[in-house]
Chains A and B, each alone.
Chain A
Amino acid sequence: MITPVQRAAAALLGLLVLFAVVGPLAWPDHAAQDLSRFLEPPSLAEPLGRDHLGRSVVARLAHATQLSLLMAVFCVVTALLVGAFAGITAAWRGGWIDTVLRGLSEAFIALPALLVVLIFSAVANGDLWTLYVGLALAQWVEYFRMVRSRSGLVLAGPAVEAAGMLKLGPAHIIRRHLWPDLRPLLATMATFGVGSSILALSTLGFVGIGIRPPTPELGLMVTEAFPYYHEAPWMSLAPVLVLTTILIGLLGLRNKEARL
């Protein structure tokens, strides 16, 4: 079942998660400035040196990785729960509930996802929760539409009709019919969803409208390090490496279901 590629990808992601969990404990202070240590090159104590304000780069990188992973997971879980619940409700109840939910999802599809996030971060500039709400709002639509169409097929099928004649009730239908059918689909979508959330978050940071500056964030770190690329290339390359690792790991994790 598990291919060597998947095992390697899981190991890669495991290392990264370890870094996100242990890193902030090992290098707790990411905000302390020491201007006398301006652009200090890497050493044993500071594996990635210090930045233009003399802050520890590895501490900032560890905190940024933790933030990105947590935000992405929370956004995806929220979007998945909301989307799946709305999708099953729409397919099950039909009628006006279905019409309203579908209309709403179409309105969201008409807007580019990043625009939704941008509007939200413009409203309350750079707060963490606005980014979270914006990203989740941009993503629930795909879960909703996928779950709705798939559940519609399953619910209209003879297996569910037979369950109805056996008076097995809605809990059985969700547990034995809908969930086994949706699970592989949702797992694949969520894997890609985490990747795209991390990218979206760092894109916003990179163009300077994401999380507000003192908080370390991967995209923001790349932007801040660019002016010093010739003196300290490791500073801008480190966050890029983290991003690449996350995305390669997530891509490697996908199984056969993703290609269906």
Chain B
Amino acid sequence: MSMRLNHLTVSHAGTVLVEVSGLDFEPGVPVTIVGESGSGKSLLAHAIMGTLPANLMARGSLTVGRASYDLSDRTNRRGLWGPVMALLPQEPGLALDPTMRAREQVAEGAASFTTDKRGARRSAGALLASLGLGHASEAFPHTLSGGMAQRVAFAAATIGGAPVLIADEPSKGLDRQARAELAELLKRHLAGGGILLTITHDLDLARELGGDVLVMKDAHILEHGPAGHVLTDPVHPYTRRLLAAEPAHWNHAWTRAGARAVTPGEPLISGRGLAKSFGGQQLFSDLSITIGAGERVSLSGPSGSGKTTLGNVLLRLLPPDTGHVHHAGSLRGGRLQKLYQDPATAFAARVPLRDSFGDVIRRHRLKPDRLEELMASLRLAPALLHRMPGQVSGGELQRLAIIRSMLLKPALVFADEPTSRLDLITQEETVSCLMDQVDRLGAALLLVTHDEALADAVTRRRIPLGLESGAAEELKTPA
């Protein structure tokens, strides 16, 4: 069975959000759409599924096997969900029902669930066991690691036997090992003669899947071809820019290759004999770390390895189980700052940004010019300050968070996965804003990331965590 998309347009109040003239899907050949946030790639997937928001208009048609469907009718593909078409959602941790055990929610997707519940549960159990989750079939989603939750979601999406699988940003928030496992699952679906459409901004995943790659920007497909060709020798300038935005290809004054070697100054933070455990799981023990002035250190490791926890212990936001953390006097008075993974949660949610910034300026008697100067040098429009944090895009808000932390001229900045929710181009822009400021102030940087290429590009010293293999596989004990 093959699938074809003809003349799709998605529009909102006259603005065209997606325009694709035609797209062919063959069994066994993965199709991957890459592009930055807002390029319309997720909308394309939802237009095929028939799950677009009601205020968006779709036109065009979809041919599945011999049947043809009008895309402007949102309801005519409901019968296909499960037996013919399935969607693997973003962030499985949020997509799974938190009140249902893994096997139970996978069983609901089986075609026989309404007639034969016991049989459906049996086949759900068998499917989970074949994915290496036999021990987790009675577990609730919040006790699963990101990679395991992704496998449960995969089981729930494919138990209906759908030959067409659409995966929307499946690798978001996954570390390298979990991503490799995910790619393996998707390839397994292809090997069974399935059709696969993957939407992602993760070029490594696109490389791993192979097949056809489409590059999307501003509602249109810019480049289309085999993965090996498009992702190594691109024709379109935008694709080249996308590839250059991968941390491994960065070329800035502050990247490790080009930067001058700095001998670390006086120790700012020194921790001795640190240990911390959560819910019976030892995250780290007998760890001693010193971070000197002007140093750039990264904490890397898979999810759940305690990177963020160690960072918070070093910042004295969390008490260690044993050991002691000492801060130099030069960190007092707000000269130690933190950047968060989700900047939207780091600002007072119901207050305009201008008031949040105004408080910092008034409290520390700063010159208001300093804010304007930073806004200009990070290429942000002053009008952004009149909005609420929720009305600013993730990349811009993270840059505003950088500005806020730089107002106090910090001696050390702790950045906790500052770009893991951003696409490649936005990530490069955000990191270079951060590094320009860090360079200018001569501040030390402590970066937490699961992206080793990013850690290598930005920092000179890496502290790896969670090397014991299989630790991430264990079920977390509920807190």
Binding site for B on A (CB under 8 A): 157-159, 161-163, 165-169, 172, 176-177, 180-181
Cβ–Cβ contact B359 & A172, under 8 A: yes
With contacts A158-B340, A162-B340 known, is A169 near B351, CB below 8 A? no
Nearest-CB residue, chain A, relative to B336: A165
Cβ–Cβ contact B333 & A159, under 8 A: no
In the complex, A163→B337 CA distance in Å? 10
Q: Which of B280-338 contact A (CB under 8 A)?
A: 315, 317, 333-334, 336-338
Cβ–Cβ contact B355 & A176, under 8 A: yes
Interface residues on B, range: 20 to 34
B250 lies within 8 A of chain A by Cβ: no
Cβ–Cβ contact B408 & A166, under 8 A: yes
Query: Among B157-165, B231-239, B342-350, B367-375, which stretch is in contact with chain A?
Result: B342-350
Q: Which of A165, A167, A180 contacts B348 (CB 8 A)?
A: A180
Q: A158-B340, A162-B404, A181-B349 are in contact. List 17 more A-B contacts (CB 8 A).
A: A157-B345, A158-B342, A158-B345, A158-B346, A159-B347, A159-B349, A162-B340, A162-B347, A165-B334, A165-B338, A166-B404, A167-B364, A168-B360, A168-B363, A176-B359, A180-B350, A181-B350
Interface of A, helix, strand, loop or mixed by DSSP: helix
Nearest-CB residue, chain B, relative to A169: B363
In the complex, A18→B347 CA distance in Å? 43
B11 lies within 8 A of chain A by Cβ: no
For residue A168, which residues in chain B have a CB less than 8 angstroms away from its CB? 359-360, 363
Cβ–Cβ contact A162 & B346, under 8 A: yes
B356 lies within 8 A of chain A by Cβ: yes
Nearest-CB residue, chain A, relative to B341: A158
Nearest-CB residue, chain B, relative to A178: B348
- How many A-B Cβ pairs are below 8 Å? 52
For residue A158, which residues in chain B have a CB less than 8 angstroms away from its CB? 340, 342, 345-346
Query: How far is the CB of B141 from the nearest CB of chain A, in Å?
Result: 21
In the complex, A176→B334 CA distance in Å? 19
Cβ–Cβ contact B346 & A176, under 8 A: no
For residue A157, which residues in chain B have a CB less than 8 angstroms away from its CB? 345
Binding site for A on B (CB under 8 A): 315, 317, 333-334, 336-338, 340, 342, 345-351, 355-356, 359-360, 363-364, 404-405, 408
Nearest-CB residue, chain A, relative to B355: A176
In the complex, A172→B338 CA distance in Å? 18
Q: Which of A157, A163, A165, A168 has most B Cβ within 10 Å?
A: A165
For residue B348, which residues in chain A have a CB less than 8 angstroms away from its CB? 159, 163, 176-177, 180
Query: How far is the CB of B143 from the nearest CB of chain A, in Å?
Result: 21
Some 9 contacts from A to B, beta carbons below 8 A apart, are A159-B347, A161-B317, A162-B340, A165-B315, A165-B338, A166-B404, A167-B333, A169-B363, A176-B359
With contacts A158-B340, A162-B340 known, is A176 near B351, CB below 8 A? yes
For residue B359, which residues in chain A have a CB less than 8 angstroms away from its CB? 168, 172, 176
Q: Which of A166, A172, A176 has most B Cβ within 10 Å?
A: A166
For residue B340, which residues in chain A have a CB less than 8 angstroms away from its CB? 158, 162
Cβ–Cβ contact B360 & A166, under 8 A: yes
For residue A162, which residues in chain B have a CB less than 8 angstroms away from its CB? 338, 340, 346-347, 404
Cβ–Cβ contact A167 & B346, under 8 A: no
Query: How far is the CB of A188 from the nearest CB of chain B, in Å?
Result: 15
In the complex, A152→B405 CA distance in Å? 25
Query: How far is the CB of B388 from the nearest CB of chain A, in Å?
Result: 10
Query: How far is the CB of A150 from the nearest CB of chain B, in Å?
Result: 13
Across the A-B interface, the 10 shortest Cβ-Cβ residue pairs = A180-B350, A167-B334, A176-B348, A162-B346, A158-B345, A158-B346, A176-B351, A177-B348, A172-B359, A158-B340
In the complex, A172→B347 CA distance in Å? 12
Query: How far is the CB of B25 from the nearest CB of chain A, in Å?
Result: 42
In the complex, A176→B349 CA distance in Å? 9
For residue B360, which residues in chain A have a CB less than 8 angstroms away from its CB? 166, 168
Query: How far is the CB of A248 from the nearest CB of chain B, in Å?
Result: 30
Query: How far is the CB of B69 from the nearest CB of chain A, in Å?
Result: 38
For residue A161, which residues in chain B have a CB less than 8 angstroms away from its CB? 317, 338
Nearest-CB residue, chain A, relative to B351: A176
For residue A163, which residues in chain B have a CB less than 8 angstroms away from its CB? 348
For residue B336, which residues in chain A have a CB less than 8 angstroms away from its CB? 165
In the complex, A165→B416 CA distance in Å? 14
In the complex, A177→B355 CA distance in Å? 11
Query: How far is the CB of B127 from the nearest CB of chain A, in Å?
Result: 38
Query: How far is the CB of B331 from the nearest CB of chain A, in Å?
Result: 10
Nearest-CB residue, chain B, relative to A177: B348
Query: How far is the CB of A39 from the nearest CB of chain B, in Å?
Result: 57
With contacts A158-B340, A165-B337 known, is A176 near B356, CB below 8 A? yes
Cβ–Cβ contact A167 & B337, under 8 A: no
In the complex, A159→B401 CA distance in Å? 11
For residue A176, which residues in chain B have a CB less than 8 angstroms away from its CB? 348, 351, 355-356, 359
In the complex, A172→B359 CA distance in Å? 7
Query: How far is the CB of B184 from the nearest CB of chain A, in Å?
Result: 35
In the complex, A168→B360 CA distance in Å? 7
Cβ–Cβ contact A172 & B363, under 8 A: yes
In the complex, A148→B239 CA distance in Å? 52
In the complex, A164→B152 CA distance in Å? 39
Nearest-CB residue, chain A, relative to B401: A162
